A = this chain, B = another copy of it.
Amino acid sequence: MKVAIIGVTGYSGVELIRILLQHPKVEIVSIHSHSQNGQGIDDYLPHLKQLLSLPLEPIDPVKIMAQTELVFFATPSGISKEIATAFVEADFPVIDLSGDFRLKADGQYEKWYKNSSAPPDFLQTAHYGLADFYRKPTSKLIANPGCYATGTLVSLAPLVQKKIIEPTSIIVDAKSGLSGAGKNLSESSHFVNSNENMTLYKMNSHQHIPEIMQQLQKWNAEVPAIQFSTSLIPVTRGIFITSYARSSQKMTQEDVWHLYQDFYQEKYFVRIQEQESYPNLRQIIGSNFCDIGVAYNEVTNIITVVTVLDNLVKGAAGQAVQNLNHLAGWDEKTGLEMIPIYP
């Protein structure tokens, strides 16, 4: 399958290149960027020398549709809602890694992204591609979930779907490496500010909250809200989420573990740790895995779920390729069996 990537110079775009170059059924035919037109990608990104030498082309939907069979948008929020319309109207397959097509309810995008939304019917049509849960996309326009949203939803799904927790008790303490903050320069991603530091940067205000709530409420309408904060830790890649919720009935450590083990039995990319064992961040870096460990406090009835994923793979480019595999009808593992980089 011939594909194009728009927005190829951001971290998700670069990771998409890494994954697709090793995908047995895909060929990257063209790459596109607003900002660096004409230059070879390997001039801009020297790690790609001898591996990919396509030029950064301007974005011409007609030409892209003529030459390829699917387009990825790895652009920042606010771009694909404008540019993807030409593709969507032509019923051309689009996988969008940004937040532009994720939120269905009226006014939500405007509220959280401080910007006008994509056309409402596109929002309704778009398939929210939580790839381990939805293997048959309902639309050729796939909204790839956010990195925090992916980890949080995978972390909470068994508790919320099985309705075993108090609906107002969910607390999500999420930590991310700096690649999650993107390649744009900012105070918080300046080395001297983030090295040897940890900073809480969004208290109940991260833009992934509405897509998390939209999905949680689809699973269980009784959950009214979650406590959700995000911190930066001094690593390049990786998200480490500690989720807490209070069981509404007495359970045991073993009950909780079996719940997760059974729930994720058939989902290849979610690996449940052994009992009383918790994943570390490094064990999934570079791969499409999301690893989980669980605990239960028998006095307070608090369930703790520790979840790790690579924000650029499972939280972005990897899940996008998993959605591509679903859309194309290939095995979902195709091109995604990368071994984690360890050490």
A244 at the interface (CB under 8 A from B): yes
Contacts A185-B187, A279-B46, A300-B168 given: A195-B192 contact, CB under 8 Å? no
The quantity of this chain's copies bound in the complex is 4
Which residues of B have CB within 8 Å of A169? Answer: 246, 300
Which residues of B have CB within 8 Å of A190? Answer: 183, 185, 189-191
Q: Are A238 and B198 interface neighbours, CB within 8 A? A: yes
A171 at the interface (CB under 8 A from B): yes
The contact of A341 among B18, B51, B277, by CB within 8 Å, is B18
Q: Interface code A156-172, partner B: CB below 8 Å = 1, 0 otherwise?
A: 00000000000011110
Q: Are A192 and B11 interface neighbours, CB within 8 A? A: yes
Q: Are B185 and A192 interface neighbours, CB within 8 A? A: no
Which residues of B have CB within 8 Å of A240? Answer: 198, 231
Q: Are B199 and A22 interface neighbours, CB within 8 A? A: no
Binds B, one of A58-66, A74-82, A123-131, A282-290: A282-290
CA distance A51 to B291 in the complex (A): 14
CA distance A240 to B341 in the complex (A): 20
CA distance A339 to B341 in the complex (A): 12
Enumerate A190-233 residues with CB–CB distance to B below 8 Å.
Answer: 190-200, 203-204, 224-227, 229, 231, 233
CA distance A234 to B195 in the complex (A): 9
Enumerate A64-99 residues with CB–CB distance to B below 8 Å.
Answer: none
Please name the residue on chain B nearest to A14 by beta carbon: B342
CA distance A204 to B306 in the complex (A): 14
Please name the residue on chain B nearest to A49 by beta carbon: B271
Q: Are A268 and B235 interface neighbours, CB within 8 A? A: no
CA distance A299 to B169 in the complex (A): 10
Q: Are A47 and B168 interface neighbours, CB within 8 A? A: no
CA distance A301 to B155 in the complex (A): 22
A278 at the interface (CB under 8 A from B): yes
Q: Are B227 and A283 interface neighbours, CB within 8 A? A: no
CA distance A162 to B42 in the complex (A): 30
Chain A: residues with CB nearer than 8 A to chain B? 11, 14, 17-18, 21-22, 45-51, 168-171, 173, 175, 178-179, 181, 183, 185-187, 189-200, 203-204, 224-227, 229, 231, 233-238, 240, 242, 244, 246, 268, 271, 273, 276-287, 289, 291, 293, 295, 297, 299-302, 304, 306, 308, 312, 337-343
A-B contact pairs, 21 of them (CB 8 A): A21-B339, A46-B279, A47-B283, A47-B284, A50-B271, A171-B244, A175-B233, A178-B191, A189-B191, A191-B193, A198-B235, A203-B295, A203-B304, A224-B299, A225-B297, A226-B300, A227-B304, A236-B343, A286-B286, A286-B341, A341-B341
